[in-house]
Structure 1
Amino acid sequence: MASAAVAAGIVGVAAILTVGLATVSAAAVTAQRVAGAADAAALAAADTASGAVSGVPCERAADLAERFASSLVACEIDGLIATVTVSTTFAGMPVRVSARAGPPP
């Protein structure tokens, strides 16, 4: 009888730990996906600002962020340097990442 209670307890703890680990892992994947979206959007805006690609820099950044299932929150162009902030949600919480791209100093 006692061994059944111990076994049930062990299974319960293992289940709780598994759910917690899965949630943390999913949050890490979302953060990396948004970081990639921010990097790509900043590079696209910087390329457009430099004239390597035609168009409006912030519109290019917004388009690229949408392809990553994210949205462009902020876009600032200073010469050839682009700074963007991209956002999405995970479990109802906002995830924001900023990135900067441009020529080397």
Structure 2
Amino acid sequence: MSTGAASVLAWTGAATTMVAGLSLLGTGLIAQSRAATAADLASLAAADAVAVAHPHPCDRAAEVATRNGARLLLCEQRGWDVLVTVEVDASPLPAASARSRAGPGPAELP
């Protein structure tokens, strides 16, 4: 094999490795963004359910998380606030998770 062909082969391998690495990084970033969005929407839905005296606000959070491609890991009501943690599959990487809290602002409390 000539030196030129070996150089081309080496550069092709390096470029392929870099593209694969960037692809994995992108997958992780997208999964983390999806998890954050799902957590925000789930906590807002649950806080809205608390505001209208829905008996099971965490059921609403789970439904919204599922509709956004996430799985609800934790839902906790603390007074008028709701805290949630969700997880999104990021195959082949580990799952991405995010937390969110929602509730009325201090001036809006009854």
Do both proteins adopt the same fold according to a TM-score greater than 0.5, normalized to the shorter chain?
yes
Partner of residue 47, structure 1:
48
CA–CA separation in structure 2 for the residues paired with 1:25 and 1:92: 11
| Unaligned segments of structure 1, at least 5 residues | none
Any idea what the Cα deviations from partners look like across 1:30-68, whole Å, max 9, x if unmatched?
10001100000000000000118x562100000000011
The 5-angstrom pairing of residues 21-36 of structure 1 reads 21-36=22-37
Q: Is the 8 A contact 2:73 2:84 kept in 1?
A: yes
Partner of residue 71, structure 2:
71
CA–CA separation in structure 2 for the residues paired with 1:44 and 1:55: 13
Give every structure 1 segment of 4 or more consecutive aligned residues whose post-TM-superposition deviation is greater than 6 Å.
Answer: none
Instruction: Return the TM-score normalized by structure 1.
Output: 0.92
Partner of residue 19, structure 1:
20
Any idea what the Cα deviations from partners look like across 1:9-35, whole Å, max 9, x if unmatched?
001100000000011001100100011
Partner of residue 4, structure 1:
5
Identity in percent: 36
| Unaligned segments of structure 2, at least 5 residues | none
CA–CA separation in structure 2 for the residues paired with 1:33 and 1:92: 14
Q: CA RMSD in A?
A: 1.4
- Structure with the higher strand share, 1 or 2: 1
Offset, 1:79: 1.8
The count of residues paired between Structure 1 and Structure 2 equals 104
